[in-house]
């Protein structure tokens, strides 16, 4: 080999499993447990509830974004999770929150496996179309399968859930249940996406190369689809638990657009983006009293603006600004790729 | 038997409407590589423009249809060249901006015209009957206009230089550019053609079916169904699939009732995805 | 290597043919790359060389014939299955995971092929020679083209393949960088015992490295033998002179 001294292989870069953004998001979500302690204002409680449910649902979009796939399927899996819980608690009289949460996660996750194996073989574009059509199918099925789903009336009068025999029945308790489900969902999502970060990153950037090195890309796609479905199911549980009703209108096909908006506007690159997006947009909808009617237009504008001028979304823009202010410290979003990613950004903007 | 034939006629006229929508949709995908989420929006807005011109301004209905078509073509041209063009390389970004634009369009309609369905009757009434077969004149006119438009699109795609360029691009963009085709110049044209068709379809069809700010949602879903069935980017596939969708919808509505027709279609689509993922007439699915 | 190991890793193409629609890309081609051996593939652009690699890896299906890796029939199987069996390709253009460091790229190759870090230790001399170790923590896609290309080749080797399919490894490299390809191929053969199928346009490299080449033209195998001798045959010269000079490109992402 060459005459000069061999350079040794640099020591293995160890990176923590969860990144800074994952921890911030988790702590942030966990802190909502304290809200019922400080406030009994029903407005505050219900607003927090809505934000947490929105953020949890949008995690389904976030997970599929790891693979560069746009999913419209969130409301379908929310519906499967929500109706499963409603049926179990009303027909089988099982109200233990842990059992219900397990059912709300597993049922959609299992449904997603055959479905995923069907549609994930196709190009990304087909995936988008099929998930869109899927939400329409599930909506129709909810109306048509009257004997099971209660049709247009939905399933009304769910009993309160119980934790170790203790009934979680009033507003603060309902919020606590939602908080628990949200923390669980955020933990599952960050652990899942970070454990397989190499695989997901490879499939997202160059799936042909990844497969040529031996990666069974479809397995990871199917797994992501299934976990995303499970997390959506937990959001569905939180929603029917808050409303005490499982109704088709809670899972309207176009609501998928809202969840996509939260993730994209907040910043699709990190889990914190999904949380911030849900927080800002749900609050904005409420604050401007844009009662359902106008908020789609606002969301549409925001999506176009973010896509055209600020790809990183809110979190991307803010951490970019922080990076400039603080200077050379690595940005918050450090996996072991943080350094490289920053160099990439510098290079693109012509900085050293 | 008579009702069977009459239902078939309704199915064919539905099919011709879906064809116009699906052709535009599939042209945009084939040529620009973009899934146009705003397609339903152009349809609804076309309907409202025709309504405004015909009912509020009192212009003759055919003029209103032409204006709807032209204005939607112009809007499509502007949207493509001002917004879509900037992100055309990134398929996810194109999805986001078309979806965003759809939301903006739907909200704009809601703000201007309100949530109520306006009274927008088709100017020709009456029913053609032969023995026991009934077929409304309105549907017949719409069918005729749609068929004419389909013939026009086919002529454009298969018999003109523009069409040859568009087809070459939809088959192999790098090769088409290497052969010196002015690819980018065709983008806004193709987009405007497709949105003009959507607007025109909206103007023709909404008086018969329904006009309301949100009808674009289901139009979008049916366009998706059609292109999944027919194979994305395939012009003939889209046409065949659109007629299949139209006929199934019409027969299911009469013989099964409720939303069973839509469910039948969805089931069909699932079967197609298992058996022939590239769609009825699509080419071999390559990895993206 | 034992005889047993050898017989499981020879690559054998048996009367393979591929057509797209009615167009025959190649027809009735047979050859063998012995285990641990090296076979060069040359031919004018558009001769079907890249298509052939795509068939071996499973990205495209065969129209007729069969491909064996040792005792296993591999055509029509999925790319990742073949890669896990030890049949790994490189790409004509750079093929790396953009936005990630050299280290992450190599670690990914190890993870996907289910290898451990010890393979990197064995590769270290080669990585050092290419200059990849000094760029260890750099973002791979801001490195010069030559380095990116060598990283892609190193990733293919990091999977510890039995048979490497190299698709024009020298294409786009500076003259001075091309010795890296010699080092790479020798390293793969000597240190890893890989068989190598080398598709290349640079005849100097072919002559330096390959004991034997096959010549493809218009999808047919028109000559076979030692490179200097084969390249002096009149019909091979004609094929090159008459050949078009269009790029035959390959999708790398």
Q: In this complex, do C108 and A6 lie within 8 Å of one another by their Cβ atoms?
A: no
Residue C252 pLDDT > 50, yes or no?
no
Which is higher by pLDDT, A81 or A287? A81
Residue A4 pLDDT > 60, yes or no?
no
Residue A1 pLDDT > 50, yes or no?
no
Query: For the segment B175-217, what is each residue's pLDDT rounded down to a tens digit?
Result: 555 555 556 677 888 899 999 999 999 998 888 888 888 888 8
pLDDT of residue B285: 38
Which is higher by pLDDT, A292 or B82? B82
Strand partners, A63: none
Look at chain B and report how many structural domains it folds into.
Answer: 1
Quick check: B173 contacting A, CB < 8 Å?
A: no
Mind giving me the DSSP string for C89-136?
Answer: E--SS----TTSBHHHHHHHHHHHTT--THHHHHHHHHHHHHT-STTT
Q: How far apart are CA B62 and CA B66, in angstroms?
A: 6
Q: Which domains does chain A have, with CATH numbers?
A: 20-299 (1.10.3470), 312-352 (no CATH)
- Which residues in A have their CB inside 8 Å of a CB on C? 1-2, 6-10, 12-13, 198-199, 201-202, 205-217, 336-337, 339-341, 343-344, 347
Asked if this assembly's ipTM is beyond 0.95, the reply is no
Chain A positions touching C133 (Cβ under 8 A) are: 7, 9-10
Q: Which of B113-122, B269-278, C151-160 has the highest mean pLDDT?
A: C151-160
Residue C216 pLDDT > 80, yes or no?
yes
Residue A187 pLDDT > 90, yes or no?
yes
Quick check: B104 contacting A, CB < 8 Å?
A: yes
Chain C closest-CA separation from residue A15 CA (Å): 11
Look at chain C and report how many structural domains it folds into.
Answer: 1
Say if C152 falls within a structural domain: no
CA distances from A197 to A63, A342, B203, B234, C113 (A): 11, 18, 49, 36, 16
Which residues, numbered 265 to 284 in chain A, qualify as contacts with chain B under a Cβ-Cβ cut-off of 8 Å?
A: none
Mind giving me the DSSP string for A45-66?
Answer: HHHHHHHHHHHHHHHHHHHHHT
Joined together, the tokens standing for residue B167 give: 């087809």
- Residue of B92, B234, B257, B284 for testing the chain A interface, max A β-carbons within 10 Å: B92
How large is the average pLDDT for residues A17-44?
Answer: 87
Residue A160 pLDDT > 60, yes or no?
yes
pLDDT of residue A41: 85
Least confident of A53-62, B37-46, B269-278: B269-278
Which is higher by pLDDT, A65 or C70? A65
Say if B238 falls within a structural domain: no
pLDDT of residue C244: 44
Chain C positions touching A341 (Cβ under 8 A) are: 99, 139
pLDDT of residue C196: 92
Chain C positions touching A205 (Cβ under 8 A) are: 97-100, 253
pLDDT of residue B284: 45
Query: For the segment A163-180, what is each residue's pLDDT rounded down to a tens digit?
Result: 887 887 788 888 999 999
pLDDT of residue A128: 86
Candidates A119, A133, A140; nearest CB to B225: A133
Candidates A118, A123, A300; nearest CB to B288: A123
Say if C132 falls within a structural domain: no
Q: How far apart are CA C68 and CA C56, in angstroms?
A: 9
Chain B positions touching A294 (Cβ under 8 A) are: 107, 110-111
User: Nearest residue of B to residue A206 by CA position?
Assistant: B288
* First-residue to last-residue Cα distance in chain A: 34
Quick check: B28 contacting A, CB < 8 Å?
A: no
Say if C214 falls within a structural domain: yes
**What band does C6 get if pLDDT is binned at 50, 70 and 90?**
very low
Closest CA to B208 of B125, B107, B285: B125
Q: In this complex, do B83 and A264 lie within 8 Å of one another by their Cβ atoms?
A: no
Residue A149 pLDDT > 70, yes or no?
yes
Which is higher by pLDDT, C123 or A1? C123
Quick check: B22 contacting A, CB < 8 Å?
A: no
Q: In this complex, do A208 and C95 lie within 8 Å of one another by their Cβ atoms?
A: yes
**Residue B54 belongs to domain spanning:** 2-214
User: Do strands C220-225 and C213-217 pair parallel, antiparallel, or not at all (unpaired)?
Assistant: antiparallel
Chain A closest-CA separation from residue B174 CA (Å): 19
Chain A positions touching B274 (Cβ under 8 A) are: 118
pLDDT of residue C242: 61
Chain A closest-CA separation from residue B11 CA (Å): 21
Burial of B269 (0-12, 13-18, 19+ CB in 10 A): buried
Least confident of B13-22, B102-111, B154-163, C109-118: B154-163
Say if C100 falls within a structural domain: no
- C17, C24 Cβ separation under 8 angstroms: yes
- C92, C41 Cβ separation under 8 angstroms: no
Quick check: A144 contacting B, CB < 8 Å?
A: yes
Residue A209 pLDDT > 80, yes or no?
yes
Residues 6+ apart with CB under 8 A from A349: none
Residue A352 pLDDT > 50, yes or no?
no
User: Do strands C195-199 and C38-42 pair parallel, antiparallel, or not at all (unpaired)?
Assistant: parallel
Query: For the segment C192-214, what is each residue's pLDDT rounded down to a tens digit?
Result: 889 999 998 888 888 888 999 99
Say if B117 falls within a structural domain: yes
How large is the average pLDDT for residues C176-183?
Answer: 88
**What band does B17 get if pLDDT is binned at 50, 70 and 90?**
confident
DSSP label at residue B85: G
Say if B171 falls within a structural domain: yes
Least confident of B24-38, B80-94, B146-160, B173-187: B173-187
- B198, B178 Cβ separation under 8 angstroms: no
pLDDT of residue C4: 45
Q: How far apart are CA B166 and CA B189, in angstroms?
A: 10
How large is the average pLDDT for residues A53-81?
Answer: 94
Candidates A68, A141, A143; nearest CB to B92: A68
User: Nearest residue of B to residue A135 by CA position?
Assistant: B221
Residue C5 pLDDT > 60, yes or no?
no
Say if C115 falls within a structural domain: no
| Interface A-B: count of C-beta contacts within 8 A | 123
pLDDT of residue C245: 43
For CA atoms A74, A75, A80, A81, the dihedral sign is: positive
Residue B68 pLDDT > 90, yes or no?
yes
Strand partners, C24: C19
CA C67-C69-C71 angle, to 5 degrees, is 100
Question: How much is the mean pLDDT over chain A?
Answer: 85
Question: How much is the mean pLDDT over chain B?
Answer: 82
**Residue C191 belongs to domain spanning:** 3-94+162-242
CA distances from A52 to A58, A185, A235, B47, B148 (A): 10, 10, 9, 39, 52
Quick check: B275 contacting A, CB < 8 Å?
A: no
Residue A334 pLDDT > 50, yes or no?
no
Q: How many CB atoms lie within 10 A of CB A155?
A: 22
**What band does A264 get if pLDDT is binned at 50, 70 and 90?**
very high
Residue C249 pLDDT > 50, yes or no?
no
Q: Any idea what the CATH number is for the domain that residue C194 is in? A: 3.40.50.300
How large is the average pLDDT for residues A243-268?
Answer: 91
| Interface A-C: count of C-beta contacts within 8 A | 132
Residue C250 pLDDT > 50, yes or no?
no
How large is the average pLDDT for residues A130-136?
Answer: 86
Which is higher by pLDDT, C18 or B100? B100
How large is the average pLDDT for residues C56-61?
Answer: 84
Quick check: A7 contacting B, CB < 8 Å?
A: no
Packing angle, helices B137-159 and B2-32, rounded to 10: 30
Say if B242 falls within a structural domain: no
């Amino acid at each position: 080999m060459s005459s000069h001294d061999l350079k040794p292989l640099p020591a293995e870069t160890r990176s923590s499993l969860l990144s800074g953004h994952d921890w911030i998001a988790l702590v942030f979500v966990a802190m909502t447990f304290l809200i019922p302690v400080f406030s009994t204002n029903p407005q505050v409680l219900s607003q927090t509830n809505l934000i947490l449910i929105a953020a949890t649902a949008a995690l389904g979009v976030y997970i599929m974004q790891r693979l560069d796939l746009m999913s419209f399927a969130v409301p379908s899996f929310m519906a499967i999770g929500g109706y499963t819980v409603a049926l179990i608690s009303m027909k089988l009289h099982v109200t233990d929150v842990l059992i219900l949460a397990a059912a709300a996660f597993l049922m959609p996750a299992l449904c997603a496996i055959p479905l995923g194996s069907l549609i994930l073989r196709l190009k990304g574009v087909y995936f988008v179309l099929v998930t869109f059509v899927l939400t329409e199918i599930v909506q129709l099925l909810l109306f048509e399968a009257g004997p099971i789903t209660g049709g247009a009336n939905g399933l009304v009068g769910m009993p309160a859930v119980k934790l170790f025999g203790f009934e979680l029945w009033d507003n603060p308790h309902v919020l606590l249940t939602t908080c628990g489900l949200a923390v669980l969902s955020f933990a599952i999502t960050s652990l899942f996406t970070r454990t397989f970060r190499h695989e997901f990153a490879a499939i997202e950037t160059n799936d042909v190369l990844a497969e040529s090195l031996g990666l069974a890309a479809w397995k990871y796609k199917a797994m992501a689809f299934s976990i995303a479905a499970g997390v959506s199911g937990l959001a569905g549980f939180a929603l029917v638990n808050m409303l005490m009703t499982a109704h088709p209108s809670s899972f309207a096909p176009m609501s998928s657009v809202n969840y996509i908006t939260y993730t994209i506007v907040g910043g699709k690159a990190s889990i914190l983006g999904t949380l911030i997006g849900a927080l800002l947009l749900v609050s904005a909808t409420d604050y401007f009293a844009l009662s359902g009617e106008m908020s789609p237009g606002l969301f549409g504008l925001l999506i176009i603006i973010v896509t055209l001028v600020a790809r990183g979304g809110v979190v991307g823009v803010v951490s970019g600004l922080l990076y400039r202010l603080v200077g050379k410290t690595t940005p918050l979003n450090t996996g072991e790729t943080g350094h490289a990613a920053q160099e990439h950004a510098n290079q693109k903007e012509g900085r050293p | 038997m008579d009702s069977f034939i009459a239902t078939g006629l309704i199915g064919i006229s539905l099919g011709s409407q879906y064809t116009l929508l699906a052709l535009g949709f599939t042209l945009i995908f084939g040529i620009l590589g973009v899934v146009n989420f705003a397609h339903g929006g152009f349809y609804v807005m076309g309907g409202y423009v025709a309504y405004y011109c015909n009912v509020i301004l009192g212009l003759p209905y055919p003029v209103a249809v032409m204006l709807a078509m032209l204005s939607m073509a112009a809007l499509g041209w502007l949207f493509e060249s001002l917004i879509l063009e900037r992100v055309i390389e990134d398929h996810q970004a194109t999805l986001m901006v078309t979806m965003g634009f759809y939301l903006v369009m739907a909200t704009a309609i809601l703000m201007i015209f309100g949530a109520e369905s306006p009274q927008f009757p088709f100017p020709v009434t009456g029913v053609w009957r032969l023995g026991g077969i009934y077929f409304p004149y309105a549907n017949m006119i719409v069918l005729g206009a749609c068929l004419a438009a389909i013939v026009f699109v086919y002529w454009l795609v298969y018999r003109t230089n523009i069409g040859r360029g568009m087809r070459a691009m939809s088959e192999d963009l790098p090769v088409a550019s290497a052969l010196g085709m002015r690819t980018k110049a065709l983008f806004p044209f193709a987009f405007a053609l497709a949105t003009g068709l959507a607007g025109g379809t909206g103007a023709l069809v909404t008086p018969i079916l329904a006009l309301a700010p949100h009808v674009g949602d289901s139009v979008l879903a049916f366009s998706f169904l059609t292109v999944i069935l027919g194979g994305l980017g395939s012009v003939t596939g889209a046409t065949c699939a659109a007629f299949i969708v139209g006929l199934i919808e019409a027969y299911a509505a009469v013989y099964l009732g409720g939303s069973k027709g839509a469910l039948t279609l969805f089931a069909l689509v699932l079967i197609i995805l298992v058996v022939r993922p590239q769609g009825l007439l699509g080419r071999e699915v390559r990895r993206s | 290597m034992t005889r047993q190991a050898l017989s499981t890793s020879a690559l054998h193409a048996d009367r393979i043919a591929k057509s797209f629609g009615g167009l025959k890309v190649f027809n009735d081609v047979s050859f063998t790359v012995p285990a641990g051996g090296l076979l060069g593939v040359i031919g004018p652009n558009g001769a079907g060389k890249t298509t052939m690699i795509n068939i071996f890896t499973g990205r495209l299906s065969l129209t007729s014939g069969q491909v064996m890796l040792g005792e296993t029939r591999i055509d029509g199987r999925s790319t990742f299955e073949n890669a896990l069996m030890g049949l790994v390709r490189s790409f004509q253009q750079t093929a790396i995971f953009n936005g990630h460091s050299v280290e992450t790229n190599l670690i990914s190759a190890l993870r996907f092929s289910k290898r451990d870090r010890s393979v990197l230790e064995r590769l270290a001399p080669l990585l050092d020679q290419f200059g990849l170790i000094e760029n260890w923590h750099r973002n791979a896609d801001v490195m010069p083209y030559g380095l990116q290309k060598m990283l892609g080749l190193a990733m293919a080797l990091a999977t510890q393949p039995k048979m490497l399919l190299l698709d024009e490894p020298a294409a786009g490299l500076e003259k001075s960088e091309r010795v890296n390809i010699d080092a790479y191929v020798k390293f793969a053969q000597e240190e890893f015992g890989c068989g190598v199928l080398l598709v290349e346009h640079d005849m100097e490299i072919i002559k330096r490295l390959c004991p034997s080449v096959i010549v493809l033209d218009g999808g047919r195998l028109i000559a076979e033998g030692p490179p200097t001798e084969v390249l002096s045959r009149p019909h091979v010269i004609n094929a090159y002179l008459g050949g078009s000079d269009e790029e035959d490109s390959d999708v790398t992402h």
